[in-house]
């Protein structure tokens, strides 16, 4: 029996079930209309399939969402071609939340109630993840995986061991920032951030931790999300940063605001530029205009092992894109991880969370293809096998945070200039 999606009644909307991943990039979208629940007719849910929910802002951020859908579908395809979960196909149930919290919660509820999803992947902000967890997932006893939520507060909610994230926490990101500053002997730091959870946590942690290593924040300014960055004159802020003697500026900003800040910095700053540190930033073409001055800028981002970058190459090839986000790698890993946990639970008569904990507790990698082809034989020979994906090893602590996520200071080559190599690892 094939389960039918709950889309609008318009026949044209139903065609989205038949679109290829490449065609999804060209769908006409409207921010005022969500496609709600949809999936691929090439791999539809049935009463025997293992369904995994993926909530993305498709009608608002189409390219980003399509990358994430492609990452999930490629994992499901590989698993199914190698036997599925004991013969049961893995199916991705896609939900378009139009970048709204309210719709995220209602989509999660429908995925759980109608499609009996084994887990939900929510690659949105921490606020969205918090809403889905508190309003529906915990109450429905459904595991929730967050590949893009960084807020420290998520580590402290009462989640019945149901919330897991592969993305680094703001605490881990700040630790990498401090390590960078200490290694390069950058003692005076400015922070220019937005007045949101991300910016406040990064700035607050730096302010409390830097004095312990004889460094200090010499300037801090926050902007309300109500500010129109194109109307806001940053000249005075940049002059104040320069007068403070700052050697490095930490910028937890949205791409549009970051672009505007660097453009103004290039115009206003006199003399040698400071080092710019961009926490958890994923650059795409056009994010930053190339500067006519040397600007040493580094994005603090999850580390990608070269040998495991094949998923990004596959996505780029399918979508004819030049670059995909590392969140895609996390999404791809989660589909494998959920499927492996479900398989392990059925073989060993454990519940899903017990199985998930079991295969993320040791350091022996799972070889995905071999696992799905002959799982009983694989586990009989590899009792201590543990999950390893494109993002590397995954170990969850008691709060569900990934303790071994790799972070690196990656040069931003759009503006990385001569004289910057001394700051590079």
Residue range 87-134, pLDDT digits in tens? 999 999 999 998 889 999 999 999 999 999 999 999 888 989 999 999
**Cα distances (angstroms) measured from residue 405 to each of 45, 126, 285, 389:** 32, 17, 25, 11
Q: How far apart are CA 179 and CA 183, in angstroms?
A: 6
Report the residue count for the chain. Answer: 425
Mean pLDDT of the chain: 86
Q: Among 161-165, 270-274, 325-329, name the one with the lowest average pLDDT.
A: 325-329
Report the number of secondary-structure helices (H) and strands (E) in the chain: 14, 16
Give the confidence band of 417 by pLDDT, cuts at 50, 70, 90: low
Residue, of 50 and 283, whose pLDDT is higher: 50
Domain ranges in the chain are: 11-167, 171-279+283-305+406-423
Which pLDDT does position 423 carry in this prediction? 66
How far apart are the C-alpha atoms of 88 and 347, rounded to whole Å?
14
* Calpha distance 215→343 (Å, rounded): 50
- Torsion 371-374-376-380 (CA) sign: negative
**C-beta of residue 53 within 8 angstroms of C-beta of residue 95:** yes
In 3D, which of 397, 404, 416 has the Cα closest to residue 163?
A: 397
CA torsion through residues 38, 39, 44, 48, sign: negative
> How many Å apart are CA 115 and CA 105, to the nearest integer?
15
One fold for 11-167 and 171-279+283-305+406-423: yes
Residue 416 has pLDDT above 70, yes or no: no
Q: What is the mean pLDDT of residues 276-281?
A: 88
Average pLDDT over residues 384-403: 86
First to last CA, the chain: 55
Specify the 3-state DSSP secondary structure of 160.
Answer: coil
Structure confidence at residue 98 (pLDDT): 87
pLDDT at 375: 84
Task: State the pTM of this model.
Answer: 0.89
Q: What is the DSSP letter of 134?
A: I
CATH superfamily of 171-279+283-305+406-423: Response regulator (3.40.50.2300)
User: Is residue 198 a contact partner of residue 252, using CB atoms and an 8 Å limit?
Assistant: yes
Q: Is 44 exposed, middle or buried (0-12, 13-18, 19+ CB in 10 A)?
A: middle
- Is 11-167 assigned to CATH 2.40.37.10? no
Most confident of 140-149, 262-271, 359-368, 412-421: 140-149
What percent of the chain is modeled with pLDDT above 90?
Answer: 56
140-154, 190-204, 256-270, 284-298: the lowest-pLDDT one: 284-298
Mean pLDDT over residues 27-46, rounded?
79
Across the range 239-244, mean pLDDT stands at 97
pLDDT in the model for residue 371? 81
pLDDT digits (tens, 9 = 90+) for 341-375: 999 999 989 999 999 999 898 777 776 677 888 88
Q: How many CB atoms lie within 10 A of CB 413?
A: 12
pLDDT (average), residues 222-248:
92
């Amino acid at each position: 029996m094939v389960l039918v999606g709950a889309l609008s009644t318009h026949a044209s909307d139903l065609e989205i079930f038949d679109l290829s991943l490449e065609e999804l990039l060209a769908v006409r979208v409207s921010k005022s209309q969500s496609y709600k629940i949809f999936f691929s007719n090439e791999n539809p849910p049935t009463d025997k399939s293992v369904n995994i929910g993926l909530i993305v802002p498709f009608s608002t951020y189409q390219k980003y969402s399509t990358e994430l859908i492609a990452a999930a579908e490629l994992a499901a395809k590989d698993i199914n071609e190698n036997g599925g979960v004991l013969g049961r196909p893995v199916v991705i149930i896609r939900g378009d939340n139009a970048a709204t919290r309210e719709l995220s919660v209602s989509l999660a509820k429908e995925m759980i109630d109608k499609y009996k999803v084994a887990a939900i992947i929510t690659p949105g902000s921490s606020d969205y993840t918090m809403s889905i967890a508190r309003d529906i997932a915990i109450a429905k006893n459904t595991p929730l995986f967050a590949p893009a939520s960084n807020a420290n507060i998520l580590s402290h909610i009462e989640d019945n061991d149901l919330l897991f994230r592969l993305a680094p926490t703001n605490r881990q990101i700040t630790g990498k920032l401090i390590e960078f500053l200490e290694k390069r002997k950058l003692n005076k730091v400015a922070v220019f951030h937005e007045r949101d959870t991300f910016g406040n946590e990064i700035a607050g942690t730096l302010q409390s931790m830097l004095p312990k290593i004889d460094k200090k924040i010499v300037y801090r300014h926050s902007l309300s999300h109500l500010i129109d960055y194109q109307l806001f004159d940053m000249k005075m802020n940049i002059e104040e940063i320069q007068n403070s003697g700052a050697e490095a500026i930490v910028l937890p900003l949205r791409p549009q605001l970051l672009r505007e800040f660097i453009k103004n910095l290039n115009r206003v700053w006199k003399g040698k530029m400071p080092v710019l540190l961009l926490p958890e930033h994923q650059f795409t073409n056009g994010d930053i205009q190339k500067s006519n001055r040397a600007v040493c800028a580094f994005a603090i981002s999850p580390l990608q092992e070269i040998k495991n970058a094949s998923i990004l190459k596959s996505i780029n090839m399918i979508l004819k894109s030049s670059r995909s986000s590392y969140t895609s790698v996390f999404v791809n890993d989660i589909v494998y991880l959920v499927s492996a946990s479900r398989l392990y639970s059925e073989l060993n008569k454990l519940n899903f969370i017990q199985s998930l904990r079991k295969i993320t507790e040791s350091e022996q990698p799972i070889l995905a293809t071999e696992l799905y082809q002959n799982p009983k034989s694989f586990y009989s020979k590899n009792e201590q096998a543990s999950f390893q994906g494109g993002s590397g090893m995954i170990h969850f602590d008691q709060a569900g945070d990934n303790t071994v996520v790799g972070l690196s200071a990656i040069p931003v080559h759009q503006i990385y200039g001569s004289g910057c190599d001394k700051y590079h690892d």
